[in-house]
Amino acid sequence: MRKMLIAGNWKMHMTAGETEQFFREFMASLRQPPFREALGRSRLEVALFPPFTSLYVAAFALEEAPRGFSLGAQTVHWETHGAFTGEISPAMVEESGCRYCLVGHSERRHLFGETDEMTNLKVRALLATSLRPVLCVGETLAERERGETFTVVRRQLLKGLESVPAHRLGQDVVVAYEPVWAIGTGKTASDDDAQEVCHFLRSVVGDQLGAEGAESLRVLYGGSVKAENSAGLMARPDIDGALVGGASLKSDSFLAILRESLSALA
Ligand SMILES: O=C[C@H](O)COP(=O)(O)O
């Protein structure tokens, strides 16, 4: 059975000092009910993706966390080292205490020109380490209106996973469906629409890489997820968790999503 993953992407928010403050509140709440009893024993996994400059502070704070809590980075370079000013290598991310790394987030694609080819290089570089890529795919509003949603996400998924062996999928790769028009806009995809695309992504993986990889692959939904809409999304059969942006920045709103997710699993 697939584990649910709730991932919080902080984007370019939170200084190291603010990160420390977040974790003071967050860890104190995790020691209270319902979290104290449920976390660590449930099928819920939680990952936070702070900026690089906050990773050490976050890793230190998470030493006290229950089983199933981990860290991720928001991007990475595919080379192991070299003259790439401003970039961070997979080994650097790994040594900062991360288990996951986002790849192909729409902000990287649309604001920083990252292509499917670059995304694939990153996925493969991460898989050469102990890091697990979270490959993000999603259509823009214009693409959705032109009826291109399935063509776009299929291309992003298959290009992103090119040359990844099927046996690495279930354990080591997570896919996140994030319709660009739903990110930071307050407009969430309906439960049905999100389920339809997540199901489609799983079936594409099944066709290309086999049923076993598809069945164990975790597919998340992202785009204006908050406590109020999370339970409905999490209850759908092909949605295995959420990639949360804005609502992960405050301990209270992120905990509220975790509370909903725990009840969805109960
Ligand atoms: O990575 C997270 C997504 O971009 C969603 O962001 P949001 O929850 O603020 O819409």
Query: Could you give the ipTM of this predicted complex?
Result: 0.99
Cis amide linkage into residue 34, ω under 30° from 0: yes
Q: Which of 107, 114, 139, 178 is catalytic?
A: 178
**CB-side exposure of 195: number of CA atoms within 13 Å?**
11
Q: Which of 105, 107, 139, 260 is catalytic?
A: 105
Distance 244 CA to ligand 1 centre (A): 5
Ligand 1 atom nearest the C-alpha of 9 is 1
Q: pTM score, two decimals?
A: 0.96
> What number does CATH give the domain 4-265?
3.20.20.70
What is the residue-level pLDDT of the chain in tens, covering all 266 positions?
899 999 999 999 999 999 999 999 999 999 888 887 777 778 899 999 999 999 999 999 999 888 889 999 999 999 999 999 999 999 999 999 999 999 999 999 999 999 999 999 999 999 999 999 999 999 999 999 999 999 999 999 999 999 998 889 888 999 999 999 998 888 888 999 999 999 999 999 999 888 888 999 999 999 999 999 999 999 999 999 999 999 999 999 999 999 999 888 87
> From the CB of residue 117, how many other CB atoms can be counted at a distance below 10 Å?
11
Distance 69 CA to ligand 1 centre (A): 19
Ligand 1 atom nearest the C-alpha of 186 is 10
> From the CB of residue 152, how many other CB atoms can be counted at a distance below 10 Å?
18
Contact 218, 224 (CB under 8 A): no
Of 5, 10, 11, which is best to mutate to test ligand 1, by the most ligand atoms within 8 angstroms of its C-beta? 11
How far is residue 112's CA from residue 103's CA, in Å, rounded to a whole number?
13
DSSP state of 104: S
- Let me know if 178 is a catalytic residue: yes
